[in-house]
Every structure is written in structure tokens, then in C-alpha cells.
């Protein structure tokens, strides 16, 4: 049974000063109580430190020079010298120091004593690079490339041709029907970050929102609040407050990520990532509002903290579907999912990152997601109001929907 709106309802939506809406008061209370909470501040700082540390480590690795020592017996000095001289062209992060060795026994002794990292010598079917107990990955790549080029040039000269003629038509390039192949790997990595940030924020803030609803319900404080302001105002304030906090964190993480990326070898991608990041903020906002409202409903259906695991199970499963769908879908499945709310909140930003998306596709997907959020808020508001004041046990969705107000 619906209730009739009366002038007293309007008065109850204002604070005692008569100028501030009740939902704004609740929103500010949510933001202030959380933003001054030590656990929230410490968690945010730790996340920023981890993000900055990872980017800093990546930048350090990009600028790091791998110094290796290559030993060569007399029968391999010429080839080893060619490897040393050509190494900067193959990999400028590898610096090779050449050590001349008298014979095979001297080479093995140098390996055991760690005087050299690897020993280059001829083998029955070509050349062999021997190390003490583990492969030198960067050195192996350089040696394989240089040896192949050198031997191929010698063989070509013997038959009166050139390496270019021998390799004509052997080049294999990659491309995508949709998107830019050059930035595919970066788009994949950043897309995973988008999906992870959405999942992490929705889970953490959602659980905290549901827990606060249960605490107010279990302590009967909500009955006092309900006498002062309409429950829909309470719900709006809680959802908006947690959304504001999640947005603050998200903007901090994105700012740190983009600024940090500009100090790495991937700095050229920062301008191209700014647009998709802005789209992600829009999709994050619409998707988070919908899920936050559902988390509030999950809290209102429970009467004790122990009930939350049961009432939130469908929502947790939905979030897992969004997470794994966001990181694993590709091809036609990804295109279809990018228009289906709420999965589109994480899938469409990934498609925008990869490129090849028509201008109208993000607008349509965002419009559908916003419509889904609006419907979710309306349905969730009804369930929340009708379940919040029911005590004595867990409330089912059917009970909450059909209960008279």
C-alpha cells in the first residue's frame, strides 16, 4: 500500500535550519565519518604507495642496464666479438663484457667460479651458449639474434646472394580488425586495471554500506532516524556519500597512475589513455550507483551481521560475473556484453581502450547503463523502505516487495 505525500514529509526532508535537505546531511555525514576514519585513510595511502611503487619499479626496470660477462675460447672469439659489438642494436639494455678463455676446461672453471655468466662455443649443429645453472635470458636473446644474422650473412655470401634476398617475403606483421595493434598490450593491461578498480571499489564500499545499514537496523537507531527524515532520503544520502568516497579514491588512483606512467617508457601513451579514463569515470559512476543501492537493499534484508552473507550472495555473484567477464571476454562476446548493464560498466571502457569503437557506441552503452541504474534505484528504494523497519529475522525479497508501508 502506498503512502500519501503530505506537507509534513516536506518538512521532514529539511534539517532544523530549514535550508539543508536531509539527504545532503546524510551524505555529508557518510563522507566526513569515513574520510576521517584511520582505516580508510591508511587503505588509500597504501594503495597509492603500491601503485606508485609498481610504476617506479617499472620505470627503474626500463632504465636498468643488464651487465653480463661472456666467455669465449679461441674458436669462438670472432663470433663473441660480433655479439658484443651488435648487442646495443638488438637490446640497448644489455651490456656485454668479453672474456678470452684458453680452452674448454678454463671455460668450465670460470663458470663454476662465477667469473663469467655464459660461455659461447661451437657445437655440431651451430653454436652453444653454456651457463652454470640458469639461463641468461637477455644474453640468450642477443646471442641467438646476432649468431643467426652473422651465419645467415656468411651462408648468403657463399652462394652469391644477400640476406635481404633470402628473407624477402618472410616478414609477418600483426593487425586487428578493430583497434590499433601497436597499443594492444598497453590497452590490455590498463583495461585490467579498470576492471580491478571497479570490482575492488564496489566490493569494499558496498560491504561497508550494507554493514552500516545492518548496524543501524540492529541497534534500532534507524527507527529514530525514520521519525526525523523519510527513508528514501536516508537511502539517497548513504548511496551518494559512498559514491562520492569511491569517486575520490578512483580519481586519486587514476591521477597517480597517469602521472606515474608519464615517467616510464610508456609515456607516449598517456594522451591516448586520458580519453578512455574519462569514459571509465562516467561508466564507473553509473555502475557504482546501481550496485550501491543494491548493497543497501542487501543490508536492509538482514537483521543481523551474520545474515549479510546470505542476503548479499546474489550481488556478490553478479560482481564476480562482471569481474571475470571484464577480463576474459573478447571478440563478439565482448561487443555484446559492452551494451548489457551492469557488465557494460567494465567491458565498454576496455573496448574504448583497444580502439575501433564507433562514436555512438559508448554513448548508447552509457545511456543503457544510466537507465539500468535509474530502474535499480527505484526498485531498490521500494525494497529498502519496506524491509528496513522489519525485525525478527531475515526478510526475503518477496516479503519486502509485498509488505505494506
Query: Which residue in this structure is represented by grid cell 676446461?
Result: 105
Q: What is the pLDDT of residue 125?
A: 80
User: What does the alpha-carbon distance between residue 361 and residue 364 come to, in Å, rounded to a whole number?
Assistant: 5
- Of the candidates 262, 276, 106, the residue with the CA atom closest to the CA atom of residue 179: 276
Q: What is the pLDDT of residue 322?
A: 95
User: What does the alpha-carbon distance between residue 332 and residue 235 come to, in Å, rounded to a whole number?
Assistant: 38
User: What does the alpha-carbon distance between residue 201 and residue 289 come to, in Å, rounded to a whole number?
Assistant: 12
The domain segmentation of the chain, as residue ranges, is 67-162, 183-402
The pTM of the full predicted model, rounded to 2 decimals, is 0.76
SS (HEC) of 153-201? HHHHHHCCCCHHHHCCCCCCCCCCCCCCHHHHHHHHHHHHHHHHHHHHH
Domain 67-162 sits in which CATH superfamily?
Answer: Periplasmic binding protein-like II (3.40.190.10)
| DSSP codes joined into one string, 57-104 | HHHHHHH--EEEEEEE-GGGHHHHHHHHHHHHHH-TTEEEEEEE-SSH
User: What does the alpha-carbon distance between residue 195 and residue 302 come to, in Å, rounded to a whole number?
Assistant: 29
User: What does the alpha-carbon distance between residue 55 and residue 267 come to, in Å, rounded to a whole number?
Assistant: 11
User: What does the alpha-carbon distance between residue 261 and residue 264 come to, in Å, rounded to a whole number?
Assistant: 5
Q: What is the pLDDT of residue 163?
A: 73
Reading the block at residue 19, the C-alpha cell is: 535550508
Reading the block at residue 133, the C-alpha cell is: 645453472
Strands (E), 251-385: none
SS3 15: coil
Q: What is the pLDDT of residue 305?
A: 83
Neighbours of 139 (CB within 10 A): 23
Reading the block at residue 389, the C-alpha cell is: 523497519
- In tens digits, the chain (405 residues) has pLDDT values of 344 444 445 545 555 445 778 889 999 999 998 888 888 889 889 989 988 888 887 777 666 677 888 888 888 888 888 888 888 888 777 888 888 888 888 888 888 888 888 888 888 888 888 887 777 778 888 888 888 888 888 888 888 887 777 777 777 766 554 555 556 777 888 999 999 999 999 999 999 999 999 988 888 888 888 888 888 899 999 999 999 999 999 999 999 999 988 888 778 888 888 999 999 999 999 999 999 999 999 999 988 888 888 899 999 999 999 999 999 998 899 999 999 999 999 999 999 998 889 999 999 999 999 999 999 999 999 999 888 888 777 888 888 787 766
Reading the block at residue 355, the C-alpha cell is: 580502439
Q: What is the pLDDT of residue 368?
A: 97
Angle at 248 (CA atoms; ends 242, 254), nearest 5 degrees:
135
Neighbours of 199 (CB within 10 A): 18
Q: What's the Cα-to-Cα distance from 358 to each of 236, 351, 352, rounded to whole Å?
A: 35, 10, 9
> In degrees rounded to 5, what are phi and psi of residue 122?
-70, 150
Tell me the β-bridge partners of 66. 94
SS (HEC) of 212-271? HHHHHHHCCHHHHHHHHCCHHHHHHHHHHHHHHHHHHHHHHHHHHHHHHHCCCCCHHHHH
Reading the block at residue 81, the C-alpha cell is: 666479438
Reading the block at residue 167, the C-alpha cell is: 628473407
Amino acid at each position: 500500500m502506498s503512502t500519501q505525500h503530505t506537507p509534513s514529509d516536506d518538512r521532514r526532508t529539511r534539517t532544523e535550519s530549514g535550508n539543508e535537505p536531509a539527504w545532503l546531511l546524510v551524505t555529508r555525514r557518510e563522507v566526513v565519518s569515513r574520510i576521517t576514519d584511520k582505516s580508510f585513510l591508511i587503505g588509500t595511502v597504501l594503495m597509492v604507495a603500491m601503485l606508485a611503487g609498481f610504476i617506479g619499479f617499472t620505470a627503474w626496470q626500463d632504465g636498468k642496464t643488464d651487465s653480463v660477462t661472456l666467455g669465449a675460447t679461441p674458436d669462438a672469439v670472432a663470433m663473441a666479438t660480433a655479439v658484443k659489438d651488435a648487442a646495443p642494436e638488438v637490446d640497448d639494455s644489455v651490456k656485454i663484457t668479453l672474456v678470452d678463455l684458453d680452452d674448454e676446461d678454463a671455460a668450465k672453471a670460470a663458470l663454476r667460479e662465477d667469473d663469467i655468466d655464459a660461455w659461447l662455443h661451437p657445437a655440431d649443429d651451430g653454436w652453444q651458449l653454456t651457463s652454470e645453472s640458469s639461463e641468461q635470458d637477455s644474453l640468450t636473446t642477443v646471442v641467438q639474434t646476432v649468431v643467426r644474422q652473422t651465419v645467415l650473412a656468411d651462408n648468403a655470401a657463399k652462394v652469391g646472394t644477400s640476406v635481404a634476398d633470402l628473407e624477402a617475403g618472410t616478414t609477418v606483421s600483426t593487425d586487428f580488425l578493430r583497434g590499433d595493434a601497436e597499443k594492444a598490450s598497453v590497452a590490455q593491461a590498463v583495461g585490467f586495471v579498470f576492471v580491478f578498480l571497479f570490482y575492488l571499489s564496489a566490493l569494499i564500499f558496498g560491504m561497508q554500506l550494507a554493514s552500516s545499514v545492518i548496524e543501524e537496523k540492529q541497534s534500532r537507531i534507524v527507527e529514530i532516524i525514520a521519525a526525523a527524515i523519510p527513508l528514501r532520503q536516508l537511502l539517497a544520502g548513504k548511496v551518494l556519500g559512498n559514491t562520492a568516497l569511491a569517486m575520490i579514491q578512483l580519481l586519486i588512483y587514476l591521477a597517480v597512475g597517469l602521472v606515474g606512467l608519464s615517467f616510464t617508457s610508456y609515456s607516449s601513451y598517456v594522451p591516448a589513455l586520458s580519453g578512455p579514463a574519462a569514459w571509465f569515470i562516467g561508466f564507473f559512476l553509473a555502475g557504482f550507483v546501481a550496485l550501491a543501492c543494491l548493497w543497501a537493499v542487501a543490508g536492509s534484508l538482514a537483521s543481523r551481521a551474520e545474515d549479510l552473507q546470505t542476503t548479499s550472495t546474489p550481488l556478490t555473484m553478479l560482481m564476480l560475473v562482471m569481474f571475470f567477464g571484464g577480463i576474459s571476454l573478447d571478440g563478439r562476446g565482448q561487443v555484446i556484453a559492452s551494451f548489457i548493464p551492469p557488465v557494460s560498466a567494465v567491458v565498454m571502457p576496455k573496448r574504448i581502450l583497444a580502439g575501433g569503437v564507433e562514436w555512438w557506441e559508448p554513448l548508447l552503452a552509457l545511456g543503457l547503463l544510466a537507465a539500468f541504474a535509474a530502474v535499480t534505484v527505484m526498485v531498490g528504494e521500494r525494497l529498502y523502505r519496506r524491509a528496513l523497519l522489519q525485525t525478527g529475522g531475515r526478510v526475503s525479497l518477496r516479503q519486502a516487495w509485498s509488505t505494506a508501508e
